[in-house]
């Protein structure tokens, strides 16, 4: 037993079947679990006849990102979010890029951090973040921690975003709707056979739960991963558009997302962009209003135009957004039409910047150059002294054009992790500067909602395949 598995937290959504057997009602699997056994997810277990959660408060490192990371384009574009991921999953997708944390048997104690609900909220408050995102492996199996922390966050005026494959029970969705403000649902494919074979789940409850959220009036966006030669066909795009248009509504933002080889599925290539563009056009032709591409740089298919007058409202590059023609109320600045983009009132100002590093003390500097499809990194900084410290980061641009340093303030003993993603075509990389008493590490991010566990210098760069670690099939 690993350290993170030692203690259990009372779980909800269960039935007592007698003789010490419990049935978990969190996901459609309805796992029947005998004493001493685990459910499919490997993070919900029967201990002495009681269902417990083994991952309550167990997390990967809390990380500041942008809301675009979660395939959310119509809720406060460019907003800073605090991304929280946990351990385990109710699916086992053959291409999972977070398999090191989603599949509990691969989780190392060194990758696990421990948080209380109050600590998560305090991090968001301290760094001026207005949205907590429940993400990465999948928040469904973190149900108790998510709902309790989300309730506390809302009391502090912080919103909650739920990024999920949504293989979840109706009752669990009922408990989420009162405390979650934004849902981003990843529908893996519209083919039931694909779902069974590739994800080890089934599609019907995913679609039903998505409709349940839509009927609630909560903000909803949907995405589908276009896996090369498996789910990147026009038929899949057509089926996806039909589901959104007929069972949800044509106003629901829909994302066709580029795949990269990973986990058990590395003997292939990234999705050809022309197939993604064709899928988007199919969905637009079928009447969907807002259709985007994900994990694709240098494309206008990530931008938003006014559906009435055609004015450019938002440009996006990678995981970054710039608002050009949108009012604080979410209306077009040219014609006044509502853009169906929700805004956060009194959004916090941008982080402070300085033209030069302070000269009062030396700084250690590390950097990463964008290469291939690696155009984002997580930067982890840790303050090992008791007094507050400030660390700095900035982007490098071709031609040596200097940019200002963004300052991140750390309290004594604090560890903080944040994303830096390419935001302009002429950016070449990123550098971070830390003062004495602080240390930093860089971690390559490969596509949306990827939580890297390997430091950059230990990884590899390849246009098609994720950085290390690579999955090695176990031998028996």
Dihedral sign of CA atoms 204, 97, 415, 67 in order: negative
Measured CA to CA in angstroms, residue 466 lies from 202, 261, 396, 463 at distances of: 27, 7, 24, 8
Tell me which residue of 435, 405, 410, 409 sits closest to 420, measured CA to CA.
405
Ranking 358-372, 424-438, 456-470 by mean pLDDT, the lowest is 456-470
For the stretch 179-195, pLDDT in tens is 999 999 999 999 999 99
> Would you say residue 90 has pLDDT above 80?
yes
Q: What is the pTM of this model?
A: 0.95
For the stretch 23-41, pLDDT in tens is 999 999 999 999 999 999 9
Using the structure block, give the residue that is written with the tokens 């409850």: 205
Average model confidence (pLDDT) across the chain: 93
Give percent of the chain above pLDDT 90. 86
Helical ranges in 229-289 per DSSP H: 234-243, 273-285
Average pLDDT of the segment spanning 120-133: 97
- Are the beta carbons of 219 and 213 closer than 8 angstroms? no
Distance CA 289, CA 296 (A): 20
Tell me which residue of 422, 370, 374, 378 sits closest to 60, measured CA to CA.
378
> Would you say residue 459 has pLDDT above 50?
no
pLDDT reported for residue 371: 86
Exposure string of 50-73, with b = 16+ CB inside 10 Å and e = fewer, is ebbbbbbbbbbbbbbbbbbbbbbb
- Are the beta carbons of 186 and 163 closer than 8 angstroms? yes
Give the pLDDT band of residue 213 (cuts 50, 70, 90): very high
């Amino acid at each position: 037993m690993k350290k993170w598995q030692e203690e259990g937290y009372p779980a909800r959504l269960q039935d007592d079947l007698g003789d010490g057997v419990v049935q978990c009602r969190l996901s459609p699997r309805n796992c029947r679990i005998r004493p001493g056994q685990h459910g499919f997810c490997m993070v919900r277990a029967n201990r002495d006849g009681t269902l417990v959660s083994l991952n309550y408060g167990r997390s990967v490192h809390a990380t500041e990102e942008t809301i675009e990371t979660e395939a959310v384009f119509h809720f406060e574009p460019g907003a800073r979010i605090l991304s929280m991921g946990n351990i385990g999953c109710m699916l086992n997708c053959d291409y999972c890029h977070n398999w090191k944390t989603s599949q509990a048997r691969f989780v190392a104690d060194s990758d696990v951090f421990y948080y209380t609900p109050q600590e998560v909220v305090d991090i968001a408050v301290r760094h001026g973040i207005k949205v907590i995102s429940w993400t990465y492996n999948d928040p469904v199996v973190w149900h108790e921690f998510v709902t309790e922390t989300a309730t506390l966050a809302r009391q502090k005026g912080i919103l909650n975003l739920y990024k999920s494959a949504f293989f979840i029970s109706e009752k669990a969705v009922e408990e989420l709707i009162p405390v979650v403000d934004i849902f981003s649902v990843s529908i893996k494919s519209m083919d039931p056979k694909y779902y069974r074979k590739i994800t080890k789940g089934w599609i019907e409850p995913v679609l039903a739960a998505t409709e349940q959220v839509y009927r609630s009036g909560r903000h909803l966006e949907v995405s589908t991963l276009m896996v090369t030669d498996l789910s990147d066909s026009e038929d899949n795009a057509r089926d996806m558009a039909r589901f959104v248009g007929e069972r949800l509504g044509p106003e629901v933002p829909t994302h066709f997302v580029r795949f990269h080889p990973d986990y058990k599925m590395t003997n292939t290539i990234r999705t050809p962009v022309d197939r993604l563009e064709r899928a988007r056009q199919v969905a637009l032709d079928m009447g969907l209003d807002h259709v985007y591409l994900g994990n694709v740089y240098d494309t206008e298919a990530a931008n938003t135009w006014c559906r009435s007058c055609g004015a450019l409202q938002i440009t996006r590059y990678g995981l970054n957004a710039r608002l050009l023609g949108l009012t604080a109320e979410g209306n077009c600045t040219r014609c006044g039409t509502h853009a169906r983009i929700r805004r956060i009132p009194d959004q916090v100002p941008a982080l402070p910047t300085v033209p030069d590093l302070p000269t009062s003390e030396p700084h250690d500097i590390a950097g990463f150059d964008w290469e291939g499809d690696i155009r984002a990194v997580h930067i982890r900084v840790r303050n090992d002294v008791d007094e507050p410290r400030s660390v700095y980061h900035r982007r490098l641009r071709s031609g040596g054009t200097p940019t200002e340093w963004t300052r991140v303030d750390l309290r004594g003993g604090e560890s903080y992790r944040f994303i830096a993603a390419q935001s302009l075509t002429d950016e070449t990389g990123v550098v971070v500067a830390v003062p004495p008493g602080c240390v930093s590490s860089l971690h390559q991010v490969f596509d949306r909602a990827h939580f890297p566990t390997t430091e950059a210098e230990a990884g590899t760069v390849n246009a098609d395949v994720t950085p290390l670690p690579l999955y090695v099939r176990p031998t028996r």
